[in-house]
Each structure stands twice: as C-alpha cells, then as structure tokens.
C-alpha cells in the first residue's frame, strides 16, 4: 500500500484554523500536525470539535479561516471535483458507520470500486472478500447494514474505508458503543493497518486507556488551545488539565463541554 513513500513530517497540518457553527465558535486559531505513517489520536471533551477536525480534513466542511494541508494539498479552497482527487488518498470511518442502508454489505464495499476503479466484477468480489476477511467477517455479503451488530458495522466501516488503499485513514470514535471485546478487536485492526501497511491513522476517541496503548502521537483539545505530544511525554506532564484528562477525573470546567457540534448518527 501507499503511505510509506510519502513520509513527510506532518502529512496533515492545520495552521491557524478558525471554525464556527453559527454563533458557536469551535476553534479560534488551531495549529497542529499529524505525522505520516504514525497513529495519532485526538482527545477532547464533547463539543471540543474532534469530529469537526476529521470533517475539515476530508473537506466536508470548510473552515472560516486558516489552511489545512492534507498530503501537500490545501483542501480549504478546493472545488468539490478537485476534492475528489484528494479524497482518493483518504479513507474515512464514520462514527455510525455511514453504510448505505439500502445496499447489502457486499454492495457497500464494492461501491467505491465500481464507481472509481477500473476493475472487473470478479476482481471486485475478490478484493471485497479479502477486506472482509481482514476485519474478521465472513458470510455477511448479503446482509443489510441494519442486520449487523454495532461491532460488525464498525468493522465493515473500517473495511470500506480501506477499500481504495488510502494513505491516510480517518476514524471517528471507532470504539464508542462497543463492548470491550469488540473494542479490542477494532483496536488490533487499526494498529495492524498502521503498523503492517504504514498507513497514517488519525482517530478521534474518548477512550484514554486505549489511546495511551495505541497512539504514537496525541492531540488533546482543550478550551484554551491544543496540547500535542507522545503518550509518554503527556503521561509525565505536570499540566493539571492534562493530568485531569488522562487520569479520567474529567472536570468540565477544565476541559470544556457542550453539545456535539455535529449531532451525528442520531438515527442510526
């Protein structure tokens, strides 16, 4: 897979990004970077704009100010058709899976290949089954997303996000709503994608424990700005807010709170 060739220091970089929904300001001037080939985790309280960061990287929403570079392309000003080229390098796993619920699992996975790749149906079937096997699923071809369990939906979503061999995999809350066994399975899956294939993984999470286990690079979104670092430096940090966050003693006054800016997956 690709990704290994492009080892820039920061494959995704935010500089002075401002973003607000209506009157609610999410970021004023956010600058940070996500290193290539590494597994980065974005932590933060609800409403701190974690999911929004992923959506900004994919060009699904545009910032009010600042620039976002994804694989050396500024995605903030691109037209929708030019964004399609950048997104070929991106795979995104949404919190609720975002599988098309009118299509079977097989058709969901085959869709990006049928739409964007020049492959025969037999090649597509082979690739789909290989990906399903990689996430530990078999005999789910003809099931509809509604017939799957939450953990299975997440795994299918990971499989779909890696279908087009992305250089960067974005995951929105991959562990939310899962039992510990399913969560551990997803965790291994994402680690494998990062370690074995060199794909840059950026994930948004609430789970501090798994973050400290997996991450090469951590970004904590706090109300007065982000704090970046490796899990070890953050674990030994003296900043009370970081300690509160990592210790799980979540104090809303320290880490901010509020509603999720984009109420996603409400109906899933």
Partner 1 sequence: MIRLVREIGAATVRFVEELGQLGVFAGAIVRSTVSPPVRVRLFVAELFKLGVLSLIIVCVCGLAVGMVLSLQGYNTLVRFGAEESLGAVVGLSLVRELGPVLTALLTTGRAGSATAAEIGTMVATEQLDGLRMMSVDPIDLVVTPKALAMIVVMPLLSALFIVSGLAGGYLVGVEMMGVDSGNYVSSLRASIDFYDDVAGSLLKALVFGMLTGLIATHRGYTCTPNSAGVSAATTSTVVVGSVSILISDYFITALWGV
Residues that bind partner 1 (CB under 8 A): 55, 58, 60, 80, 83-85, 87-88, 90-92, 94-96, 98-101, 111-112, 115-116, 160, 163-164, 262-268
C-alpha to C-alpha distances, 131 to 159, 188, 196, 257, nearest whole angstrom: 6, 15, 14, 38
- Name which of 158 and 208 has its Cβ closer to partner 1: 158
Which residue, 37 or 96, is less far from partner 1 as judged by CB? 96
Instruction: Tell me the three-class secondary structure of 186-202, residue by residue.
Output: HHHHHHHHHHHHCCEEE
Report, in Å, the least distance between residue 210 CB and partner 1: 23
- Between residues 99 and 222, which has the closer beta carbon with respect to partner 1? 99
Nearer to partner 1 by Cβ, of 160 and 217: the residue is 160
Nearest-approach distance from CB 21 to partner 1, in angstroms: 11
CB of 117 to partner 1, least distance (A): 10
CA 69 to chain centre: 16
Residue 60's contacts (CB-CB under 8 Å, 6 or more residues apart) are none
> Of 95 and 207, which CB lies nearer to partner 1 in the complex structure?
95
Q: How far is the CB of 265 from partner 1 (least distance, A)?
A: 6
Residues 155/144, Cβ–Cβ less than 8 Å: no
In this structure, the number of other CB atoms found within 10 A of the CB of residue 223 comes to: 15
Spatial CA neighbour of 76 closest among 17, 8, 20, 11: 17
Please answer whether residues 18 and 28 qualify as being in contact, where contact means their C-beta atoms are separated by less than 8 angstroms. Answer: yes
Question: Least CB distance from residue 145 to partner 1, whole Å?
Answer: 10
Give the nearest distance from C-beta 98 to partner 1 in angstroms. Answer: 4
Nearer to partner 1, 50 or 55 (CB): 55
Nearer to partner 1 (CB atom), residue 54 or residue 183 = 54
**Alpha carbon distance 185, 182 (integer Å):** 5
Query: HSE on the CB side for 132, CA within 13 Å?
Result: 21
**Contact by Cβ (8 Å): 48, 24:** no
Q: How far is the CB of 174 from partner 1 (least distance, A)?
A: 14
């Amino acid at each position: 897979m690709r990704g290994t060739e492009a080892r820039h220091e920061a494959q995704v970089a935010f500089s002075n990004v401002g973003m607000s929904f209506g009157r609610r300001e999410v970021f004023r001037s956010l600058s940070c970077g996500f290193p290539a080939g590494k597994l980065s985790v974005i932590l933060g309280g609800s409403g701190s704009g974690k999911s929004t960061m992923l959506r900004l990287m994919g060009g699904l929403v545009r910032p009010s100010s600042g620039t976002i570079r994804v694989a050396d392309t500024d995605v903030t000003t691109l037209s929708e058709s030019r964004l399609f080229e950048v997104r070929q390098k991106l795979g995104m796993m949404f919190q609720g899976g975002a599988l098309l619920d009118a299509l079977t699992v097989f058709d969901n996975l085959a869709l990006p290949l049928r739409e964007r790749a020049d492959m025969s149906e037999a090649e597509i079937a082979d690739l789909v089954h290989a990906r399903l096997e990689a996430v530990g699923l078999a005999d789910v071809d003809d099931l509809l997303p509604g017939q799957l369990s939450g953990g299975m939906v997440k795994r299918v979503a990971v499989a779909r996000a890696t279908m087009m061999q992305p250089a960067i995999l974005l995951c929105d809350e991959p562990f939310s709503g899962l039992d510990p066994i399913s969560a551990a399975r997803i965790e291994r899956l994402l680690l494998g994608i990062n370690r074995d294939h060199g794909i840059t993984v950026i994930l948004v999470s609430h789970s501090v424990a798994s973050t400290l286990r997996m991450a090469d690079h951590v970004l904590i979104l706090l109300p007065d700005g982000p704090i970046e670092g490796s899990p070890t430096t953050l674990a030994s940090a003296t900043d009370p807010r970081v300690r509160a966050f990592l210790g799980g003693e979540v104090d809303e006054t320290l880490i901010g709170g509020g509603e999720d800016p984009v109420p996603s997956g409400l109906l899933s």
